[in-house]
Amino acid sequence: QVQLVESGGGLVQPGGSLRLSCEASGSIFSIYTMGWYRQAPGKQRDLVASISSGGSANYADSVKGRFTISRDNAKNMMYLQMNSLKPEDTAVYYCNAMVSTLRGAVNEYWGQGTQVTVSS
């Protein structure tokens, strides 16, 4: 079994910054692409940013230039540095990963989500 646990969410004023972390644990052989998704109330879950095992990153247009995704493969960790936050960034942020397990299966996993609220 594989678990993804997010941390770092909270309440921040517009223009502020937050850093989200995602830790993967369990029966992990290798982690392929990882990503951050977000879901605002009444809306669908959308991709915010993704990063390959080699470090290639992609961003949604709405966060380009403000958010930075990174990962530490040795620690099975992924991060999202969020700067210049806007009220429209308010959402539950989810960690996602494609994982090859010790049993040889490749599955997609999700974290439980962490709330980010941008408000004055």
Q: What pLDDT score does 40 carry?
A: 96
Average pLDDT for runs of 10 along the chain of length 120: 96 98 96 98 97 97 98 97 98 97 92 97
CA distance 88 to 109: 26
Using the 8-state DSSP alphabet, how is residue 27 labeled? S
Q: What pLDDT score does 81 carry?
A: 98
Chain-centre distance for alpha carbon 9: 11
CA distance 15 to 13: 6
The pair phi, psi for residue 77, each rounded to 5°, is -120, 150
Nearest to 95 by CA among 118, 71, 117, 75: 71
Q: What pLDDT score does 104 carry?
A: 86
Q: Are 91 and 80 contacting, i.e. CB atoms less than 8 angstroms apart?
A: no
Q: What pLDDT score does 115 carry?
A: 98
Q: Which amino acid is at 21?
A: S
